[in-house]
Amino acid sequence: MVSTKRLQQLARQHGTPLFVVDHDELRKNYATFRKYLPRVQAYYAVKANSDPAIVKTLFDAGASFDVASMPEFMIVHELIRDMPEKERQAWIWDKIIYANPIKANGTLRQLDRYKPLVTYDNLEEIKKIKKFAPRAGLALRLRVPNTGAMVELSSKFGASSGEAVDLILEAEKEGLTVEGISFHVGSQTTNFDNYVQALNLAANVFREAKARGAGKMFLVDIGGGFPAPYDDSVKPFRELAKILNRELDRLFPKDIQILAEPGRFLVATAGTVVCTVIGKAVRDGKLCYYVDDGVYHTFSGVIFDHCQYHFEAFKKGPVETCSVFGPTCDALDVVSMTERLPADLKLGDMVYSRNIGAYSHASSTHFNGFPPAKVVHVNR
């Protein structure tokens, strides 16, 4: 964790708003994931934060990658473009999954030359892949329970368990290779039973597929959802890992490869934003602070990620409940209505928010003419 002293030094040097990425934290989180889930290969979900420097640190640490667009694919590809062609193709096959179940025809055309692993969940996608990316390997995306997840995904993606094997057989009928099953229990899933139910559904599909004559599948992608420790209500990762290890060993032989797509878990705690108080008012008896970052920028997760970030002040003193607003003129730009901050903050004082590395700066815009926060990378 970057110290408050260092945060202040960086803010004075670079100005605010400032988004600070701690690469030691990235490496620590990746090592934790591998320690507690030794059977699972981590495919970093690039959409969580696609900053090339973050991708490079995880690449160097040994991570694989989950991409969901061609720009994300090319960020990863840039790291391997100097490999010999044969070695590069082998790396892509083993280290990248294109995990967006719905892909445009043009995207599939671009992907085909790389022979990647892609997900699908419906008949129309089979037809598209057959026509535009026939050299791709396939993983069927299965719809699984998302109960209690902060961001629910099962209504948008996933084949039902009842149609899953039919879709596997249909893809094979078209001459495509189905390599396995994928699922996603929802983002920031604190209900660990979602994983238990999902793994059992996947195992049932494996058994039914074998019984109905499908080709041998050899991988299970257990998706993302691994919760970041935003507060004390989130149980330790090792507790989830214990459950996963038990179920994986019970349900899947050792020759089945296990993939996962951690995004938030790897990057959330590696990001801190520093803001400056640019305005102060009392409205209907409530203290209001205005800062130079907001929901159109680093705090976009308030809108898009259903996430509530909290502020701390470098200045200490008696606190009271206040509202914090972003810098734009839009009434939507409300970061929080219930922050506990010192009542005597002055214009020019700085505040900061930790654990904001995922789905935050990645969604920043230039709305109202305000640019995103400057990014600074730190290796302690």
Q: Are residues 147 and 77 in the same domain?
A: yes
| Residues 189 and 52 placed together within one structural domain of the fold | yes
Asked if 260 and 293 touch (Cβ cutoff 8 Å), the reply is no
pLDDT in tens, 270-297: 999 999 999 999 999 999 999 999 999 9
DSSP per position, 269-287: GGEEEEEEEEEEEEETTEE
Question: What pLDDT, in 10s, does the model give residues 49-107?
Answer: 999 999 999 999 999 999 999 999 999 999 999 999 999 989 998 999 999 999 999 99
CATH number for position 274: 2.40.37.10
What does the DSSP 8-state code read for residue 20? E
- How does residue 1 score in pLDDT terms, banded at 50, 70 and 90? confident
If we measure between CA atoms, which residue out of 279, 299, 298 comes closest to residue 289?
279
- Listed in sequence order, the residues at least 6 apart from 25 whose beta carbon sits closer than 8 Å to its beta carbon are 1, 269, 270
For 269-303, b where at least 16 C-beta lie within 10 A, e where not — what string?
bbbbbbbbbbebeeeeeebebbbbbbbbbbbbbbe
Looking at residue 54, its pLDDT comes to: 98
Residues 238 and 284 both lie in one domain: no
Residues 115 and 197 in one domain: yes
Residue 166 scores a pLDDT above 80: yes
Contacts of 354 (CB under 8 A, 6+ apart): 1, 269, 271, 272, 312
Instruction: Establish whether 329 is a catalytic residue.
Output: yes
Where is the domain boundary, 267, 295, 319? 267
Quote the domain boundaries for residue 367: 4-19+270-378
- Same domain? For 99 and 240 the reply is yes
**pLDDT digits 0-9 by tens, 308-345:** 899 999 999 999 999 999 999 999 999 999 999 999 99
Q: Which pLDDT does position 187 carry in this prediction?
A: 77
Residue 155: pLDDT band with limits 50, 70, 90: low
In this structure, the answer to whether residues 14 and 73 fall within a common structural domain is: no
Q: How many folded domains does the chain comprise?
A: 2
* Residue-averaged pLDDT of the chain: 94
Name 185's Cβ contacts closer than 8 Å, sequence gap at least 6.
144, 145, 146, 149, 194, 195, 198, 223, 225
pLDDT in the model for residue 221: 97
Would you state the pLDDT for residue 83? 92
Which of 208, 235, 267 is a domain's end point?
267
d(CA 299, CA 146): 24
Q: Are residues 241 and 300 in the same domain?
A: no
H-only helix segments in the chain: 4-14, 23-36, 52-61, 70-77, 85-95, 105-112, 123-132, 161-173, 193-211, 237-251, 264-267, 301-304
Q: How far is CA 282 from CA 289, 298, 326, 341, in A?
A: 9, 25, 16, 14
User: Can you tell me the mean pLDDT for 235-254?
Assistant: 96
53 and 8 share one domain: no
Q: Are 172 and 307 in a shared domain?
A: no
Task: Work out the percent of the chain whose per-residue pLDDT is above 90.
Answer: 87
Instruction: Note whether 119 and 244 are same-domain residues.
Output: yes
Greater confidence (233 vs 245) lies with 245
CATH number at residue 108: 3.20.20.10
pLDDT at 152 over 60: no
Please, what's the largest Cα pairwise distance for the chain?
A: 71
Radius of gyration of the chain (CA): 22
The domain boundary, picked from 232, 267, 302, lies at: 267
Does residue 47 sit in the same domain as residue 181? yes
Out of 275, 288, 322, 329, the active site residue is: 329
Query: Does 281 share its domain with 229?
Result: no
